[in-house]
Amino acid sequence: MTLNEIRSKYLAFFKAQGHTIIPSAPVVPENDPTTLFTGSGMQPLVPYLLGKDHPSGKRLVNSQKSFRAMDIEEVGDNRHTTFFEMLGNWSLGDYFKREQLPWFFEFLTKVVGLDPARLYVTVFLGDEKNNVPRDTDSAEIWKNIFSSVGIDAKDVLIGSEEEGYKKGMQGGRIFFYDAKKNWWSRAGVPENMPAGEPGGPDSEVFYDFGTPHDEKFGNNCHPNCDCGRFLEIGNSVFMQYIKKDDGSFGLLPKQNVDFGGGLERISAASIGNSDVFRTDVFEEAILLLEKFSEKTYGDAKFTRSFRIILDHIRAATFMIADGVRPSNTERGYVLRRLIRRAVQHANKLGVAEDPTDDTILVRCATLFTEEYGDAYPELNDEVVWSAIKEEIAKEEKQFQQTLQKGLREFEKMISGDITGEQAYLLFTSYGFPFEMTMELAKERNVSIDEAGFREYMKRHQELSRAGAEQKFKGGLADHSEKTTRLHTAHHLLLKALQLVLGVHVKQRGSNITQERLRIDFSHGEKMTKEQIAEVERIVNKKIHEELPVTRSILPKEKAESLGAEHEFGAKYPDMVSVYSVGPADASESDPQFDKAFSIEFCGGPHVENTSELAGTFKIQKEEAVASGIRRIKAILQ
């Protein structure tokens, strides 16, 4: 089964169970400055899992574009990717364990066609310290499910992952693990959860590829073993608890299901190959790279480089389509790093270029837009595709020049062994990858102080992390009063920019903390002092007019016909949440959209009246961030 077939069948299966299909959010989170990328299907739905009513109802399903920057260094094995799709279905206080687990099993075995004998599951062992009981309900449901297909499912108490390597399989089918493996909350294990935080046990499903156990990972194999025999393909989170002020756990008034399943991983299981890069979406790109490198994917010396190119160019394609551009900060830095690593490994493969055509990396991106164009039509947009092609080609050219500079600096250093500081300077000052420094040093028979380099990098990362924590402290996810006020001011600012600069102004990104708001918007010229002053005047006027801020649930077509602003590249469900500002006599029951100052697709949170902004709006900085994109940072003082 192809990736596209599995995605379509999953959505159809849960639609038949009464779920509403909602579109994928962009890989760039909307109104959440606490994280750079959407890393899971549930991330855009957190407000609804915490109790807010979703416009599309209580049963939802989608396939979410996701990106995890933390996995960049892991790419190269048979299962890690930075970009992936997360199949998700949710019950917002509707069904629970007895519906969810049989449905997912039916989808895997009846729809995808996986052999039930190759499926193994894990459940929550319980947490005596926090008085959270063992999830015997899920274990009993799984026993009945396996029994229905003639499998006697023995349960085994494992505990920690480390204990799994000691205890092994023991003929089990259902395995109890501790909170580090089978408990979910945004804060992690129960003891780390603050008061008011929801969480609950989860149940993971693993596919057994039947490969021999590699003892370098531990004496015995078990479902959470990293040897490659088992691959996690789905996880049902049962969000049923909330931490109380006294530190104990009580039941949530609404018990939710939050399911996430790796589309690529389920596809790998469906073809019986544990290498996710052997799934159909990578096939044409592999053939292209093989042709122009005269290397084969199956040659172990080159497989890692193939995988890094495939993963990074696919991820870059989706990031650029969702508005990210290469830069030296935040999301742009991650994108730049992806493209440059792909260039580095293309060089390692010796990929030849056809001077009469696009670069091979651009051609790989073309193949991915073709593979995903039906599911994500934005990839077919001519403007979007032009940006993908232009940004990858431009970054590739710049990095090849950087590599030449770095190579010259390296040649100056090789009079003796290379110190950790020299390798660090090559990386940070010249963008010269450490892997390449190591390879060149090996060729010239000189040594590198790798430990010293790692120490310099550790200090660098600690400084960066401290800066990021300062920058993002108290972000939108906490729904604090200050952040909420600035979020509403953000809506006023966008409309004011359109009034002053023109209707071509569209939002291209946002970042809102307790200290300030930031908006990226489409505009080709530096704003004049007069334009900035006029924008400030309009926003402050609307604050002083004490306009009501109203949330409405509308059909998407109705919201669009009203001219409601929405995020560039974002897809929305049939029913959407819209916030309107003004007029002065508007009410929740009568928003008077035709007289409103501002109307936007948005999930909130917002103040109820502009008078709550209680301050003077001030633009601190206006600057260019990319071709045709400007950025404003502003405060309420």
pLDDT (tens digit per residue) in 81-134: 999 999 999 999 999 999 999 999 999 999 999 999 999 999 999 999 999 999
pLDDT class for 356, splitting at 50, 70, 90? low
Which pLDDT score, from 0 to 100, does residue 156 have? 97
Residues 334 and 350 in one domain: yes
Last residue of a domain, one of 217, 250, 276: 276
Q: Are residues 253 and 315 in the same domain?
A: no
| pLDDT at residue 358, rounded to an integer | 84
Higher-pLDDT residue of 427, 600: 600
Rounded to the nearest 5 percent, the helix, strand and coil shares of the chain are: 45, 20, 35
How many CB atoms neighbour CB 193 within 10 A?
21
What is the rounded end-to-end Cα distance, in angstroms, of the chain? 57
- pLDDT at position 305, please? 94
Task: Assess whether 422 and 390 both reside in one domain.
Answer: no
What's 25's DSSP letter?
Answer: P
Residue 409 resides in a domain: no
The reply to whether 406 falls in a domain is no
CA distances from 575 to 26, 40, 56, 444, 592 (A): 18, 22, 6, 63, 19
- For range 426-454, the mean pLDDT: 83
Give the Cα separation of 82 and 214 in Å (integer). 25
Confidence of residue 480 (pLDDT cuts 50, 70, 90): confident
Best mean pLDDT range from 368-377, 432-441, 477-486: 368-377
Q: Is residue 125 part of a domain?
A: yes
> Looking at the domain assignment, is residue 408 inside a domain?
no
**pLDDT for 300-325, tens place per residue?**
999 999 999 999 999 999 999 999 99
Q: Number of C-alpha atoms within 13 angstroms, CB side, residue 477? A: 15
**Res 472 pLDDT > 50:** no
Nearest Cα to 601, choosing from 547, 553, 546? 553
Clarify whether residues 486 and 467 are in a common domain: no
pLDDT of residue 236: 97
pLDDT of residue 1: 87
Helices and strands (H, E) in the chain, number of each type? 18, 17
State the average pLDDT over residues 327-334: 81
Mean pLDDT of the chain: 89
Structure-model confidence comparison of residues 496 and 68, the more confident one: 496
pLDDT-based confidence at residue 48 (cuts at 50, 70, 90): confident
Contact 339, 361 (CB under 8 A): yes
DSSP-based three-state secondary structure for 573: coil
Confidence band of 469 (pLDDT split at 50, 70, 90): very low
Evaluate if residue 476 carries a pLDDT over 80: no
Task: Determine the pLDDT at residue 424.
Answer: 85
pLDDT category at 31 given cuts 50, 70, 90 is low
Query: What is the structure's pLDDT at 401?
Result: 84
Is 407 within a domain?
no
| Same domain, yes or no: 123 and 176 | yes
Domain that includes residue 420, residue range: 414-472
- Range name among 46-50, 95-99, 175-179, 277-281 with the lowest pLDDT average: 46-50
**What's the confidence (pLDDT) of residue 375?**
94
509 lies in the same domain as 619: yes
Asked if residue 535 has pLDDT above 90, the reply is yes
The answer to whether residues 224 and 161 touch, using CB atoms and an 8 Å cutoff, is: yes
Split into its structural domains, the chain has a count of 4
| % of the chain surpassing 90 pLDDT | 62
Q: Is 105 or 438 the better-scoring residue by pLDDT?
A: 105
Q: Which two tokens stand for residue 528?
A: 């004049």
220-251 pLDDT per residue, tens: 999 999 898 999 999 999 999 999 999 999 99
**pLDDT at res. 59:** 96
From 401, 426, 458, the end of a domain falls on: 401
Reported as a pLDDT band with limits 50, 70 and 90, residue 32 is low
pLDDT exceeds cutoff 60 at 346 = yes
Shared domain for 523 and 436, answered yes or no, is no
Q: Is residue 468 scored above 60 in pLDDT?
A: no
Same domain, 58 and 166: yes
Hey, is 565 helix, strand or coil?
strand
Write the CATH number for 149: 3.30.930.10
CA neighbor of 614 nearest in space, from 546, 535, 551? 546
